[in-house]
């Protein structure tokens, strides 16, 4: 059985990740694996005070710091278990099969280690340490997308029913992978799929559009295919709003203008500000 790997933490995106994972698991007929990675311990207080305090006091301080670190570790474990138990109960109440994992180390390493039978990775766009006031994107998002071979669904702040999907298409390998992901699963025929390419009607783009149209016609679901002139960031943003798109799908970390805009050198501007979930492919 394939699985949806949902990465949860104590941020305000935790419940949303669960709800997006539940939606994806039902859609893909998959189980859910909940992953919580324990953050590293807070920086230790400097303990080399031998030059300013007596030896006995120094040893006493070290003992206290050791006990404090042990207590912090225990509390992180307890909090992690509580997060997983709450998320598991939420998903099981919807009839899903759920497995939980409480792991140490880095999120990226754990995701890549567990991706073997994973169909999709789900995580929030911001973690516990993100600066929400400045809309900073969680640092793990880019790292996970760059490291895993699986599609990554970046959850929006709250889950909303998904009916219309926009695929930002540029003809590249990862955006073609996105089309194949959507069109090879019969479940996606329930959605209204929009495939939009930003560019002019030159021969190369026309060839890319012809390839997409051949795939869409063979698929048999409801679709809209459009080639629109203009800057990719404007075309995509405007289309999401005008067509009331519920999910944006696209390739990531390529060299085309679309993918450079969404993820890469411009620091994920669309994911950072977009109000809909974003499904990324490499």
Tell me how far CA of residue 262 lies from CA of 19, 141, 183, 271, in angstroms.
24, 13, 22, 7
Burial, 12: exposed, middle or buried (Cβ in 10 Å; 0-12, 13-18, 19+)? middle
Which positions of the chain have pLDDT values less than 70?
40-58, 60, 126-139, 253-270, 273
| pLDDT value for 253 | 57
The packing angle between helices 14-28 and 55-92, to 10°, is 40
| The predicted structure's pLDDT at residue 65 | 73
Give the whole-angstrom CA distance, residue 86 versus residue 6: 13
Assess whether the region 1-159 and the region 160-282 belong to the same CATH fold.
yes
In order of 53, 79, 228, 230, 247, the CA distances from 257 in angstroms are: 61, 42, 14, 11, 20
Give CA–CA dist 16/2, Å, rounded: 21
Which residue ranges make up each domain of the chain? 1-159, 160-282
pLDDT score at 40: 61
Distance (Å, whole) CA 259 – CA 216: 22
pLDDT of residue 231: 81
Instruction: Please say whether the structural domain 160-282 has been given the CATH code 3.40.50.300.
Output: no
pLDDT of residue 56: 60
CA gap 68, 71 in Å, rounded: 5
Residue that is written with structure tokens 């999401």 in the block? 240
Q: Report pLDDT for 98.
A: 97
Give the C-alpha distances (Å, rounded to integers) separating 133 from 12, 53, 68, 101, 272.
13, 42, 32, 31, 12
Residue 77: the pLDDT is: 87
Residue 263 CA to its chain's centroid (Å): 12
Pick among 2.60.130.10, 3.20.20.70, 3.40.50.620, 3.10.20.30: CATH of 1-159: 3.40.50.620
Instruction: Identify the pLDDT of residue 254.
Output: 56
Residue 75 is predicted with a pLDDT of 83
Given this model, what pLDDT does residue 94 score?
Answer: 94
Q: What whole-number distance in Å separates Cα of residue 226 and Cα of residue 188?
A: 19
Res 134: pLDDT: 45
- Check residue 55 and give its pLDDT: 54
């Amino acid at each position: 059985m394939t699985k949806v790997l949902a990465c949860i933490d104590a941020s305000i995106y935790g419940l949303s990740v669960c709800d997006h994972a539940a939606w994806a698991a039902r859609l893909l007929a998959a189980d859910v694996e909940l992953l919580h990675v324990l953050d590293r311990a807070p920086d230790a207080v400097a303990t080399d005070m031998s030059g300013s305090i007596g030896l006995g006091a120094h040893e006493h301080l070290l003992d206290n710091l050791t006990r404090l670190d042990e207590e912090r570790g225990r509390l992180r474990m307890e909090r992690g278990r509580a997060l997983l138990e709450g998320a598991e109960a939420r998903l099981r109440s919807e009839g899903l099969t759920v497995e939980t994992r409480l792991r140490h180390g880095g999120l990226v390493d754990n995701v890549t280690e567990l991706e073997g039978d994973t169909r999709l990775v789900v995580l929030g766009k911001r973690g516990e340490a993100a600066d929400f006031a400045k809309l900073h994107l969680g640092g793990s998002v880019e790292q996970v997308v760059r490291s895993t071979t699986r599609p990554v669904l970046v959850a929006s702040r709250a889950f909303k029913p998904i009916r219309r999907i926009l695929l930002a298409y540029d003809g590249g390998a990862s955006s073609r992978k996105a089309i194949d992901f959507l069109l090879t699963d019969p479940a996606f025929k329930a959605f209204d799929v929009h495939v939009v390419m930003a560019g002019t009607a030159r021969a190369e783009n026309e060839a890319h559009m012809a390839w997409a149209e051949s795939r869409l016609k063979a698929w048999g679901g409801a679709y809209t295919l459009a080639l629109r002139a203009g800057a990719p960031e404007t075309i995509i943003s405007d289309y999401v709003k005008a067509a009331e798109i519920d999910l944006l799908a696209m390739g990531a970390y390529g060299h085309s203008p679309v993918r450079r805009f969404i993820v890469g050198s411009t620091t994920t501007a669309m994911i950072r500000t977009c109000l809909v979930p974003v499904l990324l492919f490499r």
